[in-house]
Structure 1
Amino acid sequence: MCFTAIGLCSLPAENAKAQDVDFGADFVNRYVWRGIDFGKSASIQPTIEFTSGGFTAGTWASYAMSPVENSTVSAVGASEHDLYLSYSFGNVSVGVTDYYFPTGSEIFNFDDDGAGAHYIEPNISIAGPESFPVTFYGAINAYNDPDHSIYLEASVPFSVGDTDMAVTIGGVPAESNYYGTTKAGLINMNLSVSREIEITDKFSLPIFGGYILNPYAEQSYLVFGLSL
């Protein structure tokens, strides 16, 4: 038995080094995911994640910090609690995410065809070498989405001074009610930035942001957040 969060472990040292538990929370002025604004509200986004070698398991959530009565997105979209698993080998990562929208839906409602509270999404990510640092990502809603919506994305990281940056372009290849499209289109063009602000010699505050454009919906967003 191993309690990595408090440093008590009976595993061999070489195995202990390969395991870790991380937890924290992000605070964002808007929760914009794949070019879609969920809830039109500032949100708090807690997470707990366990890693062991190439295996990762975790839970992540987003909760709106203000009412959503005036939102074009339903209240269901303003509250989200996900579970995810992934395994990385070399430059490839494969995983599956269970997207659960709890507002007005029971956690054990696993109905299909858009009637349930859970969407199951297998995904794959392939990172290029240093000579071609492009990461390709693909995902499909395999359960509870009548359209079986597919999302495809490519991103390129770079840095300017002390700021880490990335350009991401993502879209859907066909009609998707889940992503709000009636045909193929670009829904996510994102210029993201992140850096750490040194508070003391032992503590730095990570901050991040992004300019996000959804060409299909003709909407843009400027997002700012910080991590604890």
Structure 2
Amino acid sequence: MNVIKSFFCPVLLLLSGFGFSQEEKPGEDEVSEDKRISFTIDVVSRYVWRGQCWGGDYLAVQPSLEYAVTPKFTIGSWATTNFKKDYYYPDNENYYKGYQEVDLYLSYQITNFLQLQLWDYYWPSVSRVEGVSNKLFDYGPTSSQTIDAILYFDFSEGYQYPFNATISTFVGGNDYQYNSRDEPKRNYTTYFELGYVFNLFENSPHKLIQNIELAPSAGVVLNNKAAYYNFADYDKPSLVNLALKASKEFDLGSNIIMPISLNYVHNGATKNTDFFGKNFLIAGVSFSY
């Protein structure tokens, strides 16, 4: 953990410095009474999370619901499914085919660029598996649940440099490494991601290409000894998520927004990527209200 602390301290100081280089200070967030609740449905060509492919090369539907309790405090839920009933691939018992997940989260806006999030990931298997617990609110070594504490920095609105950064550490649930006596010990697996946002064709007269967003990012798992990230290196920092995402948002009227996206992801891990590969192209469309 000392290595992690020595890594994050200068990073936090660097990111905090960006807070003093803004072009203009964004106004205080406001939540109108009729927009406290927002609902989104994402449809993606496959589900890839932090360079990890869950559920194979199958279309996934991902609904989410969010409620703004106050202008700064939000609660929400997110889910994904690829509608496959077979848990394992027939030629390899160790990788998932059918995949489902239901998450709950809390977020609090500490400053106009810093958000604290707490996520509860729950991914029950689509069929019963020996040695795996699908019980809800079971956070033991055989559970299907994890708690993720996240600091999210976002300088994309009103700042000179539209950086964003994610620092994620598992603080509960199925995140254990084992010693020589096969005794579980919490690993506190930590992930760090840095991204940038380019807004293209802002002044274009053609609405079809106006305000296309291009977002490169790079994510690394720092201590994967618990092997929580299946498709990553277990014994060293692993650059699992090199991504380039292009997106465009369309206003359909009646408060309905339809973003479309194309995301290329490269998993740079040197091991454990043979089954699904290292390169993914994910197309997505969303409907938000």
TM range (shorter): 0.7 to 0.9
Aligned-partner residue type, residue 237 of structure 2: A
Query: C-alpha displacement at 1:134, in angstroms?
Result: 1.3
Query: Counting strand residues as a fraction of each chain, which structure ranks higher?
Result: 1
Poorly superposed stretches of 4+, deviation over 6 Å = 198-203
Distance 1:65 1:121 in 2: 26
After superposition, the Cα gap between the structure-2 partners of 1:59 and 1:198, relative to the gap in structure 1 and judged at 3 Å, is: closer
Aligned-partner residue type, residue 122 of structure 2: Y
Give the TM-score, by structure 1 length: 0.83
Query: C-alpha displacement at 1:209, in angstroms?
Result: 1.7
Q: Deviations over 1:178-209 (max 9, x none)?
A: 11321211000110111135668986632112
Distance 1:203 1:106 in 2: 36
Equivalence for 2:181:
none
Unpaired segments of 5 or more residues in structure 1?
1-13
Query: C-alpha displacement at 1:174, in angstroms?
Result: 2.2
1:140 paired to 2:157: no
Distance 2:32 2:259 in 1: 27
Equivalence for 1:124:
151
After superposition, the Cα gap between the structure-2 partners of 1:107 and 1:135, relative to the gap in structure 1 and judged at 3 Å, is: same
Equivalence for 2:213:
164
Distance 2:136 2:252 in 1: 44
Equivalence for 1:11:
none
Query: C-alpha displacement at 1:15, in angstroms?
Result: 7.0
Q: Larger C-alpha radius of gyration, 1 or 2? A: 2
Distance 2:246 2:71 in 1: 28
Instruction: Give me the CA root mean square deviation.
Output: 2.5
Match of 2:78 among 38, 60, 68: 60
Q: Deviations over 1:27-67 (max 9, x none)?
A: 11110010111011210001110112011110000001345
Equivalence for 1:100:
122
Equivalence for 1:191:
244
Number of positions where the alignment pairs a residue of Structure 1 with one of Structure 2? 213
Equivalence for 1:7:
none
Aligned-partner residue type, residue 209 of structure 1: L
Equivalence for 2:44:
28
Provide the secondary structure at the position in 1 that maps to 2:224: coil
Distance 1:16 1:133 in 2: 27
Match of 1:219 among 268, 271, 278: 278
Distance 1:222 1:138 in 2: 25
After superposition, the Cα gap between the structure-2 partners of 1:175 and 1:93, relative to the gap in structure 1 and judged at 3 Å, is: same
Unpaired segments of 5 or more residues in structure 2?
1-29, 177-186, 202-209
After superposition, the Cα gap between the structure-2 partners of 1:75 and 1:202, relative to the gap in structure 1 and judged at 3 Å, is: closer
Query: C-alpha displacement at 1:160, in angstroms?
Result: 2.1
1:174 paired to 2:223: yes
After superposition, the Cα gap between the structure-2 partners of 1:200 and 1:84, relative to the gap in structure 1 and judged at 3 Å, is: closer
Provide the secondary structure at the position in 2 that maps to 1:142: strand
Equivalence for 1:8:
none
Distance 1:15 1:24 in 2: 18
Equivalence for 2:5:
none
Equivalent pair of 1:122/1:139 in contact (CA under 8 Å) = yes
